[in-house]
Amino acid sequence: MSKSLARVVQALRAAGVDATPVETTGEARTAEAAAIEANCALDQIVKSILFQGESGQLYLFLTAGGNRVDATLAQSLTGESLSRAGGDRVRQVTGFAIGGVAPIGHLTPLPTFLDPRLQDFSVVWVAAGTPRHIFATDPATLIQITAARIASFTA
């Protein structure tokens, strides 16, 4: 088991969540690919989008697979100008590579925001730390384990 996947499994267990990551037959780096692998609707895929503020702080936006983060709305939530976080910075702060960033198990805790669209489903699918592992959970549990603030930030 990779270190990244092990951190996610450990975070799930520590939170008391009975979810087991599954290995996909193909890669699940994109929401579209993950939806095919999970056999679910695109919006049931939770995308982990990371932005970096001018202060250097990273912010995690958990959004439904078919939605895009609106930079202006995201900036109003964080109170600072944002730009997409680079791959090296993402790995340094979260411990995960882009394409497999889980919303839990980060090396450094992050302010997290959740797209309300995800609450429309009884089950959502989340990256589990690698491009080939995902896990299913309900939105309420996802909110609890990530300490996410529900906010409108999509266009």
CATH code for residues 3-150: 3.90.960.10
**What three-state secondary structure class fits 114?**
strand
**Domain extent listing, the chain:** 3-150
CA distance 77 to 113: 9
Instruction: Give me the residue label for tokens 């996410």.
Output: 148
**Residue 72: per-residue pLDDT:** 95
Per-block average pLDDT, block size 10, for the chain (155 residues)? 92 94 92 95 97 97 97 96 95 91 95 98 96 96 97 94
**Residue 16: per-residue pLDDT:** 94
How many Cα atoms are found within 13 Å in the side-chain-facing hemisphere of 123?
10
Q: What are the CA-CA distances from residue 64 to residues 3, 56, 72 (Å)? A: 26, 25, 18
**Residue 27: per-residue pLDDT:** 87
CA distance 45 to 54: 29
Q: How many CB atoms lie within 10 A of CB 16?
A: 9
- Between vectors from CA 19 to CA 15 and to CA 25, what angle results, nearest 5°? 140
